Chains A and B, each alone.
Chain A
Amino acid sequence: MLKDIEHLIRLTLVMAIGLVLFVIVRAAVIPPSFGEYGHYRGDAIAEIAARPIAYAGHQVCESCHTEVVDQKRLGKHVVVACEACHGPLAKHAEDPASVTPPKLDTGVVCGRCHEANSAKPKTFPQVVTADHSGGVACDMCHQPHKPGIEASPPKLAEGKK
């Protein structure tokens, strides 16, 4: 009797071993956090969140550079975050002594926003730089932190470059 179904028993054994092997291998290769939130590796969220930041955020800048905050408050650039012009400075915020931000070229930085373009909103202040200043650097007349022109532009009046 048993001999008649011996081939079936053998087959069942092979299938059972195969199934056990499959389950073991599957458990070994699937990361433990897979399926924690859905069909993906749950740990990936924390890994992506752990990436270091490059832009410190204006609140961090303002905690030290209070004199600039006071100046900006008087002009229209109060809404512009520091790093919009100065670039990413999280490293400077961490170590202000050894990492210092580069000096900006107002000829480039100001034009990015204020160079005239018909696609810009009509209410946004724009100039054709060549006509407006004829090559004179913007910060000869405008203080970037407080761009409105005062009665006598300080730098011109003092005769400095």
Chain B
Amino acid sequence: MEITRRHLLVLLPAAAAAWKYVMAGTPESAPKYSLTEHWWGMLIDIPKCIGCGSCVRACAQENDVPDGYFRTWIERYHVADWKIEKPEVESPNGGKQGFPPNEESGGKNFFVPKLCNHCADSPCTQVCPVGATFVTPDGVVLVDKTYCLGCRYCVQACPYGCRFINPNSNTAEKCSLCYHRISKGLTTACCEVCPTGARQLADLKNPKDPIHEFLRTHTVQILKPHMATGSKVFYNGMDGSVR
């Protein structure tokens, strides 16, 4: 068949419409999460922590953490007068059911929630012999449980004691900063349920995140700064006795 001018005039718009459809490709699924646009951390406001254990319970339920193991836990410090180097620290069942009334009188008492510090230069990922644990491009330290051998190097390497071997899978486990939540635009389970706002997820690459203003205007510390781990869990109002 010979294509006449008339045919061409009819075909061209049809072809253009079809080509537009081809170029559009598959429809994009929701707002896409970009690994390079975030740098996650957390802010812990110690003067706000009431030691209720909500975060510990929420973490266990969100992440199926076995009983007796903790991805996050709360410590209660008792510092007697000047004995800042010898604080009495307790964490009954990780603070999951809260804390019984203090027996000691006098001195100073306060709660310190702990979790993985999601170190930028994490010692735990450096010792993994198989590449089963790693820092993601958005700054979260994760464990690939299908790759983990359960050799426990990382458990020993973490200076904060944040890792354990899951007795069911026999692989290393730790706080994932609720990666399955934050990558969907939600906050972590612990931050979601914290009734006083003592824990706040922070995106250090987001210039609109209130963390920047907070860090600028408060006396903020990280745990074990001498270890040069690049910790991204920031503690406000932390006493010098905290280890």
Contacts and interface: CB of A to CB of B under 8 A. Distances in A.
Interface in B14-60: 33, 35, 47-54, 58
Contacts of A12: none
A55 B102 CA distance: 32
Range for the number of chain A residues in contact with chain B: 35 or more
Contacts of A113: 50, 52, 54, 195
B147 A45 contact: no
Interface string B118-145: 0000000000000111111100001010
A39 interface: yes
A155 interface: no
Range for the number of chain B residues in contact with chain A: 35 or more
A127 interface: no
Contacts of B136: 37, 45
A117 B101 contact: yes
Contact of A40 (B50, B111, B132, B176): B132
Contacts of B154: none
A38 B98 CA distance: 40
* Interface of A: prevailing SS: loop
B48 A53 contact: no
Contacts of B48: 121
A78 B194 CA distance: 13
Interface in A53-81: 53-55, 57-58, 79-81
B192 A58 contact: yes
B148 to A, nearest CB: 10
Contact of A55 (B49, B58, B98): B58
12 contacts: A34-B131, A40-B131, A47-B144, A48-B180, A53-B180, A57-B187, A57-B192, A88-B58, A88-B189, A116-B101, A117-B98, A119-B102
